[in-house]
Amino acid sequence: MRCLLLALLTLVTTASNALAWGSEGHKTVGKIADVILEQNPSVRERVRQILGDNSLSDVSVWADCAKGFTYCHMEPTPEQQAYADKNPRHHSFHYTDVPIQQSQYRAGTAGTGADDVVQVIKYAFSVLRGNPSSQGPAKLSQREALWLLAHLVGDIHQPLHVGAIYLDRECDDIVDPNAVGAPPGFGIGSTVGSTEGGTKLMLNSSKHLHSYWDDDTVRGAMRLLNIRNRSIEDFARAIVANPPSGWQTSGDSETWSTQWATEIMPLANGALSRVEIDEGALVEGERELKCTAHVTRERGYAQWANKQALNQLGKAGFRLAELIKAALGFP
């Protein structure tokens, strides 16, 4: 029975590993930026020159479609496939896995990487600005950089794309790889078990905590604004009419992705610590140590998570518009 359960949970988590906001969430972030840029015709025209007839909302899902995600309902286009072919590690671009014990994102520490979401946002911004490093983590045209930003700015505002829980080798106790391991790998996958951004934390036999944040919280956020028809257009315009507080980011725009990752760490901590990990987590993987466990949300989790998702989607949309303006040289 234990082996059967492990096989079923592995099938579920493998099929949907490394998701982000689902299609609705990403398209909402892009649509918010589209609506904001309606008020700035010069920026909107420059975006049109790069993306053609596609809106930011349209292209916001392309980075997932390049991975063959089912919500795209189609095979990757030749453009998406070409991007994937020249960026074989593009799956890593969508997240960073900072242990929830940490209060900030610091490059080079456990769970971070040279091609994680923080670094790739920074690099795509430099490509769009026209001065990329020759040693960057990706190979991008300006068009690819723009549609990748439209996706990754959404990703970095989803808490389970930044913070992560790690367990010991027996999958019993929560640990911080920075404290129990050593660089460069910090023991992750060997002496420290990964829960892969919450995709190994199962709410039931078919849904993990990561997919709950991808989809359920977005629909919950829509309900908070009384968007019953699930219209992306209506949802985005309602958010633009009532901007989230604190969405502005100070300092050099090239530092914004680092600031955003650090800002979301307390939320990631809450999203992962407000669940109880049931005893008997399964040790998984012969080549890489992973931990699969059933989790139970504390009372009131859904209401709290829906409010957080609404705030994060709003911040992501406003920040995407501002980042694009900065990258294209507009005040």
> Cα–Cα distance between 18 and 271 in angstroms, integer?
17
H or E element: which one contains 305?
helix 301-327
- Where residue 320 falls among pLDDT bands split at 50, 70, 90? very high
> Any idea which of 12-26, 115-129, 143-157, 189-203 has the lowest mean pLDDT?
12-26
3-class DSSP assignment, residue 194: strand
Beta-carbon contacts of residue 245 (< 8 Å; ≥ 6 apart): none
Query: Is residue 24 predicted with pLDDT exceeding 60?
Result: yes
| Measured CA angle at 160 (ends 25, 181), to 5 deg | 160
Tens digit of each residue's pLDDT (9 = 90 or more) over 32-72: 999 999 999 999 999 999 999 999 999 999 999 999 988 88
Q: Is the dihedral of CA 132, 133, 134, 137 positive or negative?
A: negative
At 20, the pLDDT band (50, 70, 90 cuts) reads low
Percent of the chain exceeding pLDDT 90 equals 86
| Strand, coil or helix: 184 | coil
pLDDT at 200 over 90: yes
Binned at pLDDT 50, 70 and 90, residue 305 comes out as very high
pLDDT band at 21 (very low <50, low <70, confident <90, very high): confident
Q: Whole-angstrom Cα distance, residue 105 to residue 49? A: 35
Q: What span, in angstroms and rounded, lies between the C-alpha atoms of 305 and 300?
A: 9
Reported for 33-36, long-range contacts at CB under 8 A and 24+ positions apart, including other chains, are 33/57, 33/150, 33/317, 33/318, 33/320, 33/321, 33/324, 34/236, 35/236, 35/237, 35/240, 36/240, 36/317, 36/318, 36/321
Q: Are 198 and 294 in contact (CB under 8 A)?
A: no
Per cent of the chain over pLDDT 70 is 94
Domain containing 14 equals 2-83+90-327
How wide is the angle at C-alpha 188 spanned by C-alphas 294 and 111, nearest 5°? 90
Residues 6 or more apart in contact with residue 290 via CB below 8 angstroms: 189, 193, 194, 195, 196, 200, 283, 284
CB 63 within 8 A of CB 93: yes
Q: How far apart are CA 285 and CA 194, in angstroms?
A: 11
Strand-pairing partners, residue 167, are 174, 193
pLDDT in tens, 96-107: 999 999 999 999
CATH of the domain at 98: 1.10.575.10
Residue 17 has a pLDDT of 40
pTM of the model: 0.93
Cis peptide preceding 184, ω within 30 of 0: yes
Looking at the structure of the chain, the number of domains it has is 1
State how far the Cα of 150 lies from the Cα of 171, in Å rounded to an integer.
36
Which residues face 59 on adjacent strands? none
